[in-house]
Structure 1
Amino acid sequence: MAETYFLGYSTPDGFLTHITDDIGSRKYKTFILKGGPGTGKSSLMKRVVKELSEVETPELYYCSSDPDSLDAVLFRGLGIIVVDGTSPHVIEPKYPGVSEILINLGSCWDSNKLNDAKEKIIAATIKNKKYHAVVRRYLRAIISINEDVLTVGETCLNKEKLDAYCDRLSSRLFPKKKCSPTAVSFRQITSLTPKGVLTNKTNFDGMNVFIVNDEYYAVRARLLDKLANAACSNGYEVIVSSDMFLQGNIYQHVVIPELKIAIISGNCDNLFDMPYHTAKINAMRFYDISKLKDKKKRAEFDRGVAEKLIGEAITALKNAKNVHDELESWYINAMNFDKVSAITDKLIEDIRHAAM
């Protein structure tokens, strides 16, 4: 089964994606798709996946603004990336024609038909951007509020007890390998979407899953960071997913594929009834309960406000998607999809040639 991720996530300062790390590594030939909404970028990538799945199962990267839409596919064995390079994740070639190839689906539209809907397209584009600006403002507030909860947790954290537990757990889970240390790889497993806060749970299939239930975030932040570093130090590939509702690269999930181990946050809405082996880590045993007592109501208030703001951000994303769907309809009407199909045929041929 293919690994499935989100291409990235919204932040108060714009969209963040780590696929640019892979593109910038120069290990891959990257095909960057350009064109407007509704020009067939996702459908093109889905066809690439269908046609080449017998060669290699790729990693699939979905759009957080529309989780049914593909934003990128990555064939690690073949050294190939196909990615949507349009807003909000604008990607431009650094070594055009060498490491990156531009594919312009805008060459397949009828400009006259687009001009007929010019004012509607401009108005809808502006409206869509305004909704995304609302999402970013909500995220800034959510992160600020959650930082207060994290601060409460950090002031009540028994670091010595937690660090000792981390050392014991990492010694048990990550036997040392005779190879050089590795570095973490960022891939987004959970993201805010118009359908809610979604987690791609299929990445945990067949794994031993440790769920960290932590209402104050400090235990999970320190635990996952230390476990990820320990696994890297012992030579394992480590995949980490950032918590978009906390400041900085605080990990929400850590996955060690070789060992079939995942250490994940229990603060995700769609993780219940997981059909695989799980163990729960109770974060409360690493807090000073007497210190927490005076701060409990403050943290509960913060979490309640953050939850409501997340709900409002989801509503704004739904509104943005509705407007985006309108934009797509005008571009779809102007597209020559026979030309898109021909471009897709050529791309598949180029990838097959690269695999030979």
Structure 2
Amino acid sequence: MGKKGSIRRVYPGGNTYKGFYSYYNYILDQKSAKRIIVIKGGPGVGKSSFMKGLGEAMVEKGYDVEYHHCSSDNNSIDGVVFSQVGVALIDGTAPHVVDPKNPGAVDEIIHLGDYWDEDKMMKNKESIIKDNKEVGRLFRRAYGYLAAAKGAYDNISKNIKEATDYAKVNKIIGELANEIFDDLNYSDSLGKERHLFGSAVTPDGIKDYLETLIEPNEKVFVLKGEYNFGQSEIVEKIGKLAIDKGYNVEFFHNHFIPEKVDNIVIKDIKVAVTTSNKFDNGKNKVFNIDLCLNEELLKEREEEFKLDREKFEELMDLAIKNISRAKKIHDHMETYYIPNMDFEAIDFLRENTLERILYWVEEK
């Protein structure tokens, strides 16, 4: 048996203070794609298992696989990408509705609803509608709590900004840029950017798979700070500078504030910049952002920080509890679908799809 392919794990969408936020457009670029297969169907019809099965088969055959996890069910996936082949499969159902952009030329649809017993499904109509309504209600509650948590977050952020010496921050940006780009020239064209979530607010709390995104052979720079404010601006500036120099950059956004960037990976030069303490391991270079803060002002407002943090954590916890409740209802809704599916036929379809993907490998 040959060498297995590598596995990366990301989140294409997230439960944020803005509600459900999607970076699904960045799963695979239409121009570079050989095929994008959009999978439709209800809960429990086997969309995630279908994609996982293909991913496992491709890894065994030596191809790299990128799993796109569902933020509302961490054990489920919403997409899988085989970048070496230029093929992606994406769950196209709500809340992240995806439809073909270039049907036939790039995209196609696989509808797993073709494999359910419609007569039996109709008997569960009222129960399915009831469960669906309750899932929607619980997510609205969760997003309400996340929006409220943003207020506490903003209070902390304002105090941190007032305490920040931006001359020191700019010095760190300069040092970091010199370390990364010192011997590198500008390219004739701009680099490409890709945006995804590196972490997510899930029914099990805040989860990430950063260890699958930042590879052992990459040079890693860690932006460390107790308050975890301000680092994202530095990360984003370094990412934009890399794009200006012609390098492709992956931006991994914050699970709570989707406009914030927590991590970047510049594969072309094997460099990563992160705000995660996971990588403060004694091997990687660390920049301590807390050294840019006015300690006196922070001490003066210590009680405010404590109160705002408590409120923030309380509201985040309430949001997670409601997302967890929604998942339980969603799991219950699956029980109306699972017994009424022809999974044997779906398995055959998956094997046929694998054969098509391997055919595209040969074409490439």
Taking structure 1 as the reference length, the TM-score comes to 0.91
Cα distance in 1, alignment partners of residues 121 and 353 from structure 2: 26
User: Match of 2:10?
Assistant: 5
What's the secondary structure of 2:126's corresponding residue? helix
Which of 118, 128, 132 aligns to 1:125? It is: 132
Cα distance in 1, alignment partners of residues 62 and 108 from structure 2: 21
User: Match of 1:249?
Assistant: 259
Q: 1:329 Cα shift? A: 1.4
1:84 partnered with 2:91? yes
Amino acid aligned to 2:262: Q
Cα distance in 2, alignment partners of residues 79 and 191 from structure 1: 26
Amino acid aligned to 1:253: N
User: Match of 1:213?
Assistant: 224
1:138 partnered with 2:149? no
Alignment check: 8 A CA contact 2:37 2:88 kept:
yes
User: Match of 1:292?
Assistant: 298
User: Match of 2:103?
Assistant: 96
Q: 1:198 Cα shift? A: 0.7
Q: 1:115 Cα shift? A: 1.9
* Structure 2 residues without counterparts, runs of 5 or longer: 1-5
Cα distance in 1, alignment partners of residues 58 and 229 from structure 2: 43
Matches within 5 A, 1:174-189: 174=181, 175-177=183-185, 179=187, 180-189=189-198
Which of 17, 20, 29 aligns to 1:15? It is: 20
Q: 1:273 Cα shift? A: 8.5
Cα distance in 2, alignment partners of residues 162 and 203 from structure 1: 26
User: Match of 1:320?
Assistant: 326
Alignment check: 8 A CA contact 1:149 1:217 kept:
no
What's the secondary structure of 1:93's corresponding residue? coil
Amino acid aligned to 1:345: E
Q: 1:197 Cα shift? A: 0.4
* Structure 1 residues without counterparts, runs of 5 or longer: none
Distance 1:128 1:276, change over 3 A: farther
Distance 1:274 1:117, change over 3 A: farther
Alignment check: 8 A CA contact 1:191 1:244 kept:
yes
Alignment check: 8 A CA contact 1:45 1:73 kept:
yes
1:92-146 C-alpha deviation (Å, 9 max, x unpaired): 1122222210100000000122122222211111111111111111111122221
Taking structure 2 as the reference length, the TM-score comes to 0.89
Cα distance in 2, alignment partners of residues 250 and 274 from structure 1: 21
Amino acid aligned to 2:222: I
Q: 1:183 Cα shift? A: 3.7
1:209-262 C-alpha deviation (Å, 9 max, x unpaired): 33333344443132112221222233332211112323x521111222344433
Matches within 5 A, 1:235-314: 235-246=246-257, 249-266=259-276, 272=278, 277-314=283-320
Alignment check: 8 A CA contact 1:78 1:354 kept:
yes
Alignment check: 8 A CA contact 1:176 1:235 kept:
no
The count of corresponding residues between Structure 1 and Structure 2 is 351
1:230 partnered with 2:245? no
Q: 1:293 Cα shift? A: 3.4
User: Match of 2:120?
Assistant: 113
Pairwise CA RMSD of aligned residues? Answer: 2.2
Distance 1:275 1:219, change over 3 A: closer
What's the secondary structure of 1:70's corresponding residue? strand
Distance 1:320 1:274, change over 3 A: farther
